[in-house]
Amino acid sequence: MARAFEFVKDITDRKDLWKVVVKVKDKWSGTKDGKEYFEIVVVDSKGDDILVLVPHELKQKFEIEIPIIVNKTYTMQNFQVSKNDDKFKPSHHEFKLRFNDGTLVNDVNVHQIVDPVPNFKSFTEINYGHFREDYLYDIIGMVDELGFQQPHPGNRKVQSNFVLRDLGNNVINCTLWENYALKFFNLQNKSNDGPIIVFMKYAKIKAAGKYALTISNTWTTTKLFINEDVREIIEFKKSLTAGIENGTITAVAETPSQMMSQSSGRTQFTPYTPEQKFYHNAEVMPLSKIVQLPQLGISDPLSYPVQMDDIAGKTLPVKVKWQVKWKTDSVIGIHDSPEFALDIQSQFPPLDSFGEIDPLFAYKYSDELDEQWKVYAGNHLHTLTWNKSLEQPLITNGWTGLRDHFHWESQFHKIDLVYYGENMFHLLLNLTQPCSTNEFPSFHSLSTKPPEPLTFDFVVSNDSNGSREPLVFTKWLGDYITSFHSYLVLEGPVVEPHLAEIIQTQGSNGVKEIEYQAWHKFCSENFLSSGDKLKFTFFDIARSNRVDVDVDRAAN
């Protein structure tokens, strides 16, 4: 007797001999241990879906001999059933399927199954925390306001941050990364009018913590549509037009400049307050540093904005574009809040003598260093105050006492401190001669030296089961690296560079590691063995996530 058809919602791991009629909803490819595979999400006539993995050894069969194509229907039977324990789950089914040698696929387009309709996740539900971080969701909304934009690789990954608004005027932050962000920038550059509608299938949601609640893309699974002629966007635009006409939807930003400049009175979800917009793409610095900036452009030095008549005698935050050739600047922003002026002033180095500290040292010892440092210089004890910043660590108080004690008269002095632990330092007196700016260490804000390479070592090892041990960073090193990059390009000795994500280990108090599958692939394709000594080198960690990996291979 032929096996009867069963429904997707009934699938469990109590057996493997399931037989279902399904339509292929979506498909994408991936790589594991250097081998390509693909995954599909299939849906049955009741609208229930499940994730299916087609492994490398069956990929050719189901791409060429019996091609599995999106929007076609099939009868599928005989699978390996397991728990759906993926880090990000495009299907919310408790189980997932894997094709094996006994899997049978036939009846191509014999059965009729209606096209699946996206189950959009409500912004209201998301804002109230009714979601799971390991589930992927369908999201749609219009771009309401632009936030931080990084269109080119640099100190940060390519990214676009903006606020999405739904048809109920609910808003939520959204961040697109890498190729997804590039798609947004391309559309934005071509779009001159009309709202930007973003439709994401399989988007992930990150709960509020260090950063605000945010929707973002996965590395490969997310499908992104922006102002495209797909059914979902067309229907959203129709509802948007009707809502504007009947007054249930407030004004819509239609250009990038409107998105940057509008202020809707929101506080909880807007990525930029007026003060943050003032900071946008600007750096706080004193005039003494501005005049040392490299030449970026020239404009008329006699062109002053008319606002100059209204600000004489006031203390105001001013945003300027510095013109190197004329040693003058163009005012491009003024803020009239006294409180904001005080906030700006607090970020300038103190008028008292101050010292800049190597950020790498600050990260390494931040967990044990207090604000007060005890510095022994000869037979004298001095107290210095650290601002406890990891991004711009400074000694803010105490240098004047050192200058007076040692009669330092030059503007700059290079001082080496030896750290003994428990906030105790020793000052090396023979290294306190005056120095010019071209002798400053590379971490100093006025230094002209190229950055010092950052290196660390790691020994490849296997666990008791013979599996490769993960690459786990010491906490300070992981925090320091991820202050610049969340992904690394590992350039080994054999094959092309590998892109690897840095993730947080499970239950390890914030310790970070290289994502295991990427690390395992890197080791395998570079023929690394247990006992091999690796030397990792960042030549300019602030500007590049590329890491050279040299190998000292263990003797056989």
CA 453 from chain centre, in angstroms, equals 23
Q: Beta strand 49-54 with 95-98: parallel, antiparallel or unpaired?
A: parallel
Tell me how far apart the alpha carbons of residues 257 and 241 are, in angstroms, rounded to a whole number. 21
Q: Which of 270-274, 448-452, 473-477 has the lowest mean pLDDT?
A: 270-274
Q: What pLDDT does residue 508 have?
A: 56
Question: What's the one-letter identity of residue 265?
Answer: G
| H-type alpha helices, 85-160 | 123-127
pLDDT of 11? 95
Residues above pLDDT 70, as percent of the chain: 80
The per-residue DSSP string of 179-190 comes to HHHHHHHHHHHH
Tokens (6 digits) for 141:
């909304």
Task: Pick the closest to residue 212 from 170, 265, 172 (CA basis).
Answer: 172
Q: What is the pLDDT of residues 280-311, one digit of tens each?
A: 555 555 555 554 444 444 344 444 445 455 54
What's the order of all strands across the beta sheet hosting 546-552?
454-459, 533-538, 546-552, 487-491, 498-504, 512-514
Model confidence at 330: pLDDT above 80:
no
pLDDT for position 186: 86
Task: Please say if the pLDDT value at position 502 is more than 60.
Answer: yes
Residue 339, beta-bridge partner list: none
Residue 532 pLDDT: 92
Neighbour tally for 249: CB within 10 Å: 19
What is the secondary structure of 298-360 as a DSSP string?
A: ---TT---TTHHHHTT----EEEEEETTTTEEEEEEE---HHHHHHHHHTSPPSS--EE--HH
**CA geometry: angle 439, 441, 442, nearest 5 deg:** 115
170: burial class by Cβ within 10 Å (0-12, 13-18, 19+)? middle
In the predicted model, what is the mean pLDDT of residues 314-325?
Answer: 66
pLDDT in tens, 155-190: 678 889 999 999 988 999 999 998 999 999 888 776
Digit-coded pLDDT (tens) for 529-545: 999 999 999 988 887 88
Over residues 117-122, mean pLDDT? 90
CA torsion sign for 43, 45, 47, 48 is: negative
- Residue 379's pLDDT is what? 79
d(CA 505, CA 514): 9
Question: 417 phi and psi, to 5 degrees?
Answer: -115, 135
| Separation CA 126–CA 215 (nearest Å) | 9
Q: How far, in Å, CA of 51 to CA of 47, rounded?
A: 13
Number of CB atoms found within 10 A of residue 474's CB? 12
User: Sorting pLDDT into bands at 50, 70 and 90, what band is 154?
Assistant: low
Contacts of 201 (CB under 8 A, 6+ apart): 26, 118, 138, 222, 223, 225
Residue 210 pLDDT > 60, yes or no?
yes
The region of weakest confidence among 143-147, 259-263, 319-323, 391-395 is 259-263
pLDDT for the residue numbered 269 = 34
Which tokens is 252 given?
């819509």
Measured CA to CA, the distance from residue 27 to residue 63 in angstroms comes to 11
Looking at the DSSP bridge assignments, the partners of residue 323 are 328
Pairing state between β 49-54 and 35-43:
antiparallel
Q: Percentage of the chain with pLDDT > 90?
A: 38
**405-458 pLDDT per residue, tens:** 877 777 677 788 899 999 999 887 654 455 666 677 888 877 777 788 899 999
pLDDT, one tens digit per residue, over 20-70 is: 999 999 999 988 888 899 999 999 999 999 999 999 999 999 999 999 999
Tokens at 480, concatenated = 């320091």
Q: Label residue 252 by pLDDT band (50, 70, 90).
A: low
Rounded to whole angstroms, the Cα distance separating 519 from 512 reads 13
pLDDT in the model for residue 395: 87
Over range 105-122, report the average pLDDT: 91
Mean pLDDT of 7-29: 94
Higher pLDDT, 225 or 517: 225
Question: Contact 444/394 with Cβ under 8 angstroms?
Answer: no
Top mean pLDDT of 98-102, 152-156, 266-270, 473-477 is at: 98-102
> For residues 383 and 374, is the Cβ–Cβ distance under 8 A?
yes
Average pLDDT taken over every residue of the chain: 81
pLDDT at 224 over 90: yes
